[in-house]
Chains A and B, each alone.
Chain A
Amino acid sequence: MPESEIELRDVRKVYYKDRIDIPVLEGLNLSVPAGEFAVLMGPSGSGKSTLLHLIGGLDSPTSGSIRVADSNLEQMNERELTAWRSRNVGFIFQMYHLVPVLTAAQNVELPLLLFRMPSSERRKRVATALGVVGLGDRMDHRPNQLSGGQEQRVAIARAIVTDPRMILADEPTGDLDAKTSEEILNLLNTLNTEFGKTILMVTHDPRAASHGQRLLHLDKGVLERDERTPARAPAAVS
C-alpha cells in the first residue's frame, strides 16, 4: 500500500455568515495515496471546492487534521502555508487565471520566481514545462493569442513547472469543448502515469471523471461513495 499523500481525519468546515453557522464538511475522513488520480464529484454546494481548498492550504478546517505531502496543514500559519503551496502543489483553475499581459513563458515562469535559481535554469524549466504540454512553439504568445485549450495547457505548464508532488485541479475542463477537454484530461493522465503526480480533480462531468482511478462522491459535506474506476491503474511512485 503506497504511503498516503493526502490524509484527512474527521475534518469539519463551518462557515459563519450573517451570524449563522453553515456546515460545509461534516467529519470527513479521506486517504489518497501518492501517485493516485482521484476525482471529486458531487452536486453544487456539496463541499468539493472547499475540500480542494483545504487540501491545497488555501483555507483551514474548523476542526480535524489535514496531512498533505508530509505536512500537517492545520498547524501551519498563513506564511508557512504560502511557502508550502509553492513547493508542493500545482493548481489548475477552470478559468485558467493566466496574466493577460504576460507571454505564455512568463506566465509559466511566475512560480519559479519564488525560488532562487539562475535565469538560465528558469528558462530551461519553462521550456521543458511548455514542451510537456505541447506548446513549445507558443512561448512568446500572450493569452489572447491562444485558444481556450492552449490557455489551459499553459496553466498546466505553470502548475508543473516547479515539479510539485501533487496537482489540484478545479473543473479544469469546465470551460472547454469536448475534444479539447479530452486532450487536457489525457495530458493530466500523462502527468499522473509518466511523471507520477498525485492528482485531485473536481468535476461535474462524468466523462472527465472517467479519467481518474478513483471517484469520490460528496454530498452535503459527507463522502457518500468512494469507488475505483477499474480501467486505470495508479502511477508508480518513485
Chain B
Amino acid sequence: MALPLYYNWRNLQRRKLSTTLTFIVVTVVVVVLCVLLSFTAGIRASLAATGTNLNLIVLKPGATAESTSVLVPDEIGRLVQTPGIALGSDGSPLMSRELCVQTTVPRRLSARDKEPAPANVAIRGVDPIAFDLHREVRIIDGRSFQSGTMEIVVGKAAHDRYEHTNIGDEIVLGRMENRIYKVVGVFDAGGATFESELWAPRTSISDSYLRRFDSSVVMRLQSVAATKAAVEFINGPTVQLEAKPEPQYYEDLSKKTQDIVVLSTILVSIMAMGAIFAVANTMFATVDGRRREIAMLRTIGFGKWAILVSFVVESLLICVSACSVGLVLSLLAGGVKQDFLSDTTWTVLAFEMKITPGILVAAFMLSVIVGVFGAITPALRASRMRIIDALRKA
C-alpha cells in the first residue's frame, strides 16, 4: 500500500530552498529542450511546406542549391523534351525559369536596435508562369508584378521583417545598387520558404544583377508516376543536368538542421545529467533528514516498496510540476518569429518556432526521466535502511 500523495506534497514544503532550486534547474532544462526542438521543428516545417511532388527542380550537376547553380539556354532548351512534362492551356510546357540572387536589405527596427541590421535575402526572378507551378503562392495584399517592369512582390515573412517592403515602398536593388523597385504586393506561400523571398520579373532581375543565365528550372509533370522517367532523362546524357522532386530538394536543404538536433541533444543531455544530480542531491538530503520517519513507517507496516515509490513520487512531483512551468514558458515563446541563416543558400530563412505535441511529450518524458533517475538511488537507500539502525541513530 502506498503512502498518500499529500504526505509527499507536504514534505516537499519542508525543504523549500533545495526544492525550489531543483525546481528551477528542471524548469530551465525543459525550457532549453523546448526552445531547441521548436527551433528545428520550425525550420523543418517551413522547408517541408515547400514544393510539391508534381514539380521537378532542375539544377546544374553538383550544385547544392539554386544560388550555386547556373543553367545555360541550350540546357534549358533540351528540357522541353522531358517525358511526362505537363502542358499549359496554350499547349506550351509548364516550365518556370528562375533566377535566384542574394542581396542585403535592412531589417525592420526593433525596440532594442539603434539602427537596422542588414539581412541576406533571396530575390527570385520569375516569369508569370511561375505562379502556375508554385500554386501555394498567393497574393494576399496588392497585386502581382507586371512583366518587364521594375515591380516586386514580397513574401509575407519578408514583409514582416524587412524595411521598405510595404506596398508602395521603393526598394533599391541591383548589382550596383542603382535599380529602384516598387513593392506592389505581398504574397503568402502556406508557410513555405518562398515567404522569406522577394519575387520580381526574371528579365528585370537578370538585368539588374547582370546575370545572363538562370539558376534553376521548375517543371510540372503530368503525374507523380512520370517522375522516374523524367529524372532519368534529365540526369541522363541528353540533358546532363540534375533533377529532383521539389520536396526532396527542400528536404536536402533541411538536413543541416540535423546537426542542430544532434547538438541540441548533446546540450540537453548534459543539462539533464546536471538536473539528475541536482534531484539526487536534494533527495539524498531528504532521505537523511527523515531517517527516523522512514524507520517509523517501516515499523508500523509500510514495506520497502512503499518507501521506494514514495520517494520517487516525491521527486516526480518536483520534476513534473517544474516541467509544467517550463512548458508554459515555452508555449509563450512558441510562435515567436525567428530567422535562420542557411549555410547552403546563405540567405535568411524566416520561420516560426513551433511547440509541437511531440515536443510537449519529449519535455514531459525528460522530466520523468530526470525525476526517476534522480530519485532512484536515494529512494533505494531509504527503502533498504535497516529499521533498528535508523531507530537507534534517530
- Interface of A toward B, CB cutoff 8 Å: 49, 53, 56, 58-59, 78-79, 82-83, 85-87, 91, 93, 95, 97, 99-102, 106, 110-111, 113-114, 158
Contacts and interface: CB of A to CB of B under 8 A. Distances in A.
Contacts of A106: 6-7
Given A97-B293, A100-B14, A101-B14, A114 B391 contact: no
Contact of A79 (B7, B14, B295, B303): B303
Given A58-B388, A102-B10, A113-B4, A97 B301 contact: no
A56 B299 contact: yes
User: Which among A59, A79, A101 has the highest number of chain B CB atoms within 10 Å?
Assistant: A101
A58 B14 contact: no
Interface of B: 1, 3-4, 6-7, 10-11, 13-14, 292-293, 295-304, 387-388, 391-392, 394
Nearest to B300: A111
A53 B299 CA distance: 10
Given A59-B388, A78-B304, A85-B301, 8 more contacts: A49-B392, A85-B299, A97-B292, A99-B296, A101-B10, A102-B7, A106-B6, A110-B297
7 contacts: A58-B299, A58-B391, A87-B301, A93-B296, A101-B13, A106-B7, A113-B3
- Nearest first, the 7 A-B pairs at minimum CB distance are A86-B301, A101-B10, A97-B296, A111-B300, A114-B301, A114-B1, A58-B387
Contact of B1 (A59, A97, A113): A113
* Main SS at interface, chain A: helix
B300 A86 contact: yes
B302 A97 contact: no
User: Which among A59, A91, A95, A99 has the highest number of chain B CB atoms within 10 Å?
Assistant: A99
Contacts, number: 59
A83 B394 contact: no
A232 B388 CA distance: 32
A110 B14 CA distance: 19
Nearest to A90: B300
Contacts of A91: 296, 299-300
B301 A53 contact: no
A215 B185 CA distance: 103
Contacts of A86: 300-301
Contact of A97 (B7, B11, B304, B394): B394
Contacts of B295: 97
User: Which among B11, B301, B387, B394 has the highest number of chain A CB atoms within 10 Å?
Assistant: B301
Given A95-B394, A101-B10, A83 B292 contact: no
Nearest to A158: B300
A214 B299 CA distance: 26
B303 A82 contact: yes
Contacts of A113: 1, 3-4
Contact of A53 (B10, B296, B298, B388): B388
B16 to A, nearest CB: 12
Nearest to A78: B304
A110 B303 contact: no
Contacts of B3: 113
B12 to A, nearest CB: 9
A57 to B, nearest CB: 9
